[in-house]
Amino acid sequence: MEPLASKIRPKNLAEFIGQEHLVGDGKPLRVAVEKKHLFSFVLWGPPGVGKTTLARIYANALDADFFELSAVSAGKDDIRKIVEKKSGEKNPKPKILFLDEIHRFNKSQQDFLLPFVESGVLTLIGATTENPSFEVIAPLLSRCRVFVLNELSNDEMLEIISRAEKNLQEKNKAKIDKPSRDWLAGMANGDARQAIAMLEATMRLYGKISVPNLTETLQNKFLRYDKAGEEHYNTISAFIKSMRASQPDAALYYMCRMIDAGEDPKFIARRMVVFASEDIGLAQPTALVVANAVFRAVETVGLPECAENLAHGAVYLSQAKKDRRAYNAYLEAMQDVKKFGNLPIPLAIRNAPTKLMKDLNYGKDYEKYTKESLLPEKLKNKKYLK
């Protein structure tokens, strides 16, 4: 039986919900679809926000031969078969390869894929929940545009739930009341696939949608660690918040849950590197050195032994003093950059490599150790680092 998520999957951009910054009028993916621009790209975002759907819509719009692989199970032979597959037409269609979870492809596999993308034999669409800067080799990434997808908003989730309800009504006459809609939207945390699967499972188990039935379904079906789902994010969140609260026992427990569930240890180590600057920061600058050393050890040693390195890092970061001032200052400064744009830089600290620039007072009265604010005039008295 065809899953509900497949039944209601959008076939074109007119049906697509969310990601307006990519598919709205004049936005890059809409332009690419409308003008049939053929190029490789990576879709980076959380699960259930439309990465696979956008890849299919794009390939269909370009009338391409579309191949889907998951990097979890695929290998070089699968790519070779696609490349060698002969087209029965005089004017062969372009071959678009959608590689889900591209971050699961190791360096050797990505190196193998690279020449086919480079030569245009394959057009690659990669999908990942992880930062492609860390997980995709530089030569391959340089040949792809990266599009960042966002979690679906509450309103977008409600719209998707309504679409699912219409499909369920055709067969089961199912209705979803407002409390159930709100519960579903909140539970799914911006993941449409999660919400749709919950609806489908609840109908199958109980034949009626209600908050109690949804809650029972969650307990029966979804309380497990899923590296592409909600519990993945719940557990890493608990790990980070335990370190933030200086509770090494809790941090170790959640770390062990992730390791036992088969989580990539590099994923845990990367979050520790981020945490070292974000939460510990100026209070103990050596924390970043330790976190980077843990990440390097994890890369070098691998499981199971690298669990010792992760435990060392988790306890150290948990017990370290905390100071978020640098990170908070960064966030506040970025807000002003986005709010005010490129404010004029004071003349005294502008570069003056030519006579004309010097005549225009670039660099005039510059003092190396001045206590005068060097911020733009509009922000003269602003203090980010408090």
Mean pLDDT of 38-67: 94
| Mean pLDDT for the stretch of residues 302-314 | 93
Between the ranges 91-100, 219-228, 316-325, where is the mean pLDDT highest? 316-325
Run of H or E including 97 = strand 95-100
Sequence-ordered list of residues with C-beta below 8 angstroms from that of 18, at least 6 positions apart, any chain: 49, 50, 150, 152, 153, 156, 192
99, 65 Cβ separation under 8 angstroms: no
pLDDT at 288: 97
Q: How confident is the model at residue 57 (pLDDT cuts 50, 70, 90)?
A: very high
Domain 19-148 fold is Rossmann fold (3.40.50)
Angle at 234 between CA 230 and CA 237, to 5 degrees: 140
Radius of gyration of the chain (CA): 25
Q: Pick the most confident of 252-256, 346-350, 351-355.
A: 252-256
HEC sequence for 258-291:
HHHCCCCHHHHHHHHHHHHHHHHHHHCCHHHHHH
Bridging pattern class, strands 65-70 and 123-128: unpaired
Domain range annotation of the chain: 19-148, 154-222, 230-319, 337-379
What topology is assigned to 154-222 in CATH? Helicase, Ruva Protein; domain 3 (1.10.8)
Q: Does the pTM of the predicted model rise above 0.75? A: no
| 342: its two tokens | 């490129």
Peptide bond into 304 cis (omega under 30): yes
Q: Which of 48, 231, 234 is nearest to 152 (CA)?
A: 48
- Rounded to whole angstroms, the Cα distance separating 198 from 90 reads 46
Per-residue pLDDT at 114 exceeds 70 = yes
When pLDDT is cut at 50, 70 and 90, the band that residue 299 belongs to is confident
Grade residue 220 by pLDDT with cuts at 50, 70 and 90.
Answer: low
pLDDT per residue as tens digits for the range 221-259: 444 455 555 567 788 889 999 999 999 999 999 999 888
| Residue 219 scores a pLDDT above 70 | no
Q: What is the DSSP letter of 95?
A: E
The pLDDT of residue 121 is above 60 = yes
The residue-averaged pLDDT of 47-53 equals: 93
| Least confident interval from 50-59, 91-100, 365-374 | 365-374
Pick the CATH number of 230-319 from 1.10.357.10, 3.40.1280.10, 1.10.3720.10, 1.20.272.10: 1.20.272.10
